[in-house]
Amino acid sequence: MSQAEIIDATDEEYFAMDALDQSQLKAFLKNPKEWAYDRLLGDHTPTDAMKFGTAFHAYLLNTSEVVCLDEGQTFQNKANKAWREAQEAMGNIVVSYKDMQLLKRMKQNIIDSRPDMYDLIGKGTCEQCIVWTDDNTGLELKAKPDLIPTGVDYLVDLKTASSASATDFHKHVIEYGYHIQASFYRQAVANCPAEAFQRTRRKPVAMQFWVFEKSGACDWQPFSISADNDVTKMAGMAISAALHGIAELRDKAEADGHYGKGIDAAARYALRNCGYDKSLKEVEFTAWDMSDAQNFAMYNDVVA
């Protein structure tokens, strides 16, 4: 097991690193060609939802100052525009007054309901960049866990969502690959020196997900994906498949001699040679699908 390097890096520096993160592995598994395009040519301008998520992380983890204008104020006048520019120049995150009220509600909810969990933030390590080399493929990997708490055997990741219900989060785990994220981050921390982060185990046994609703009462729930969860084995298989797939493309690209070296060579090769199967395929349906189609076709007393 190669030992990881613990690096202090801003978000901009982290995203600029050549190494692969768990998001890229998940993208590769969906479609290598799309992964390649996004890596080489993609538009990574953050959406409004991403900006709010960044502000929430900073506000709860206390990693950056989050500020807003007073209620009723806008950026239409020069003074307020100058204030915003000055705040951003200092590295502060500027949000709307409305969003600030949401952030305050979200933070207060965890303080009131689980002060023991909130206290972990001040005692742990937040958004620490970790870089290491995969022993089997030689690919360089990177991770940036939201929170590595002190004195416990788990990691913490923060999520914002329209719903924090158990039913919806269960769906999101599979849809967005949170089980893969959990396994990837646990391995990242396991590769760090044993004395790092004052943790109780070299490899964390679980990742907790603290899921916050971003509207209304801003209720929240904590969930966990542990090493002995059935889905964790599937996550390990997915990570291995992605790493070996990218490594295979890298080797083909370097052997060809026209794509350069390393991970970007794999991406250039994938962009040219990979993608969906272009042969014609008949659409297949499950019994459940057919039941839905039958229901859709019924008249159901609809008045024309």
182: nearest Cα among 150, 154, 221, 163: 154
- Whether the pLDDT of residue 301 is over 70: the answer is no
* pLDDT tens, position by position, 2-44: 799 999 999 999 999 999 999 999 999 999 999 999 999 999 9
* pLDDT tens, position by position, 211-240: 999 999 999 999 999 999 999 999 999 999
DSSP 31-65: -HHHHHHHHHH---PPPHHHHHHHHHHHHHHTSS-
The residues near 217 (Cβ < 8 Å, ≥ 6 apart) are: 105, 109
The pLDDT of residue 300: 58
- Whether the pLDDT of residue 303 is over 70: the answer is no
pTM of the model: 0.92
Helix (H, G, I), strand (E, B) or coil at 155: strand
- Whether the pLDDT of residue 294 is over 90: the answer is no
Given the structure tokens 């939201």, which residue do they identify?
A: 146
Q: How far apart, in whole angstroms, are the C-alpha atoms of residue 299 and residue 296?
A: 8
% residues pLDDT > 70 (the chain)? 98
Domains, the chain, with CATH or none: 5-44+114-273 (3.90.320.10)
* Residue 221 backbone class (left: φ over 0; alpha: ψ -120 to 50; beta: rest): beta
- Whether the pLDDT of residue 251 is over 80: the answer is yes
Tokens at residue 103, please?
A: 């952030």
* pLDDT tens, position by position, 109-120: 999 999 999 999
pLDDT confidence band for 299 (50 / 70 / 90): low
User: Are 191 and 6 spatial neighbours (Cβ–Cβ below 8 Å)?
Assistant: no
- Whether the pLDDT of residue 1 is over 90: the answer is no
The pLDDT of residue 304: 52
Q: How far is CA 87 from CA 65, 66, 67, 91, 211, in A?
A: 9, 9, 8, 7, 29
Which amino acid type is present at position 210? W
The pLDDT of residue 42: 95
Instruction: Tell me the CA end-to-end span of the chain in Å, nearest whole number.
Output: 68
Q: 206-229: string of b/e by CB count within 10 Å (b at 16+)?
A: bbbbbbbbbeeebbbbebebbbeb
The pLDDT of residue 298: 72
* Residue 151 backbone class (left: φ over 0; alpha: ψ -120 to 50; beta: rest): left
The pLDDT of residue 295: 84
